[in-house]
Amino acid sequence: MMKNLIPMLLCAFVCIGASAHRFHAGITDISYNARTGSTEVVHTYMVHDVEALLTELYQRPFDLSDPDDQAVLRKYVDKQFWLADKDGRRLPLAWVGVTVDTDSVVVFQEAVRTPVVTVETIHDAVLSDFLPDQQNTVNLTANGSLRTFGFTGGRTELAVD
């Protein structure tokens, strides 16, 4: 009995520790699709963070498989994430779609017929207005080179030099 008790207690402590600390992170990949001539943007967030945010903002539960609830998410992402050119003009990002599974929400956008080298500024405040420890990472691939940018609630906008 004692032999089985130690692994069970160890597992219980590890599980309690894992549930006590939640890491809030998002990752966005921006790249050029030569076939379409468009810059593609793919965001990935933890589903429980997105649902908690929307529930807090609208005081109701959300089902991100529902097109109406996806429209609410779209409005939020469009407000919190944008790209700008050298003159500070926002690049129009078309909403391509969203996929949801038990762990993540993946949002697809594109700047139609816009080369990725047009991007001079990235603004990423997704979830950082709701979760103080939210960390967003943006990977930008341009001219065969990958650059990574980090965003927090205190740093929501960065220039692409």
Mean pLDDT of 114-139: 97
- pLDDT band, very low/low/confident/very high, at 50 (cuts 50, 70, 90): very high
Q: In what order do the strands lie in the sheet with 38-46?
A: 94-100, 104-111, 38-46, 25-33, 135-142, 145-151
Say if CB 115 and CB 159 are below 8 A apart: no
Going by C-alpha positions, the residue among 96, 88, 122 that lies closest to residue 38 is 96
pLDDT in tens, 110-122: 999 999 999 999 9
Q: What residues does 45 pair with on adjacent strands?
A: 26, 105
pLDDT in tens, 6-46: 444 344 434 444 443 478 999 999 999 999 999 999 999 99
* 3 has pLDDT over 80: no
pLDDT value for 7 = 42
Say if CB 29 and CB 141 are below 8 A apart: yes
pLDDT value for 26 = 98
Say if CB 58 and CB 73 are below 8 A apart: no
- pLDDT band, very low/low/confident/very high, at 95 (cuts 50, 70, 90): very high
Query: 64 in helix, strand or coil?
Result: coil
Going by C-alpha positions, the residue among 103, 136, 120, 153 that lies closest to residue 29 is 136
* 105 has pLDDT over 50: yes
Going by C-alpha positions, the residue among 105, 100, 53 that lies closest to residue 79 is 53
Going by C-alpha positions, the residue among 103, 119, 105, 132 that lies closest to residue 158 is 119
Q: Is the dihedral of CA 146, 147, 153, 158 positive or negative?
A: negative
The lowest-confidence range among 59-63, 148-152, 155-159 is 59-63
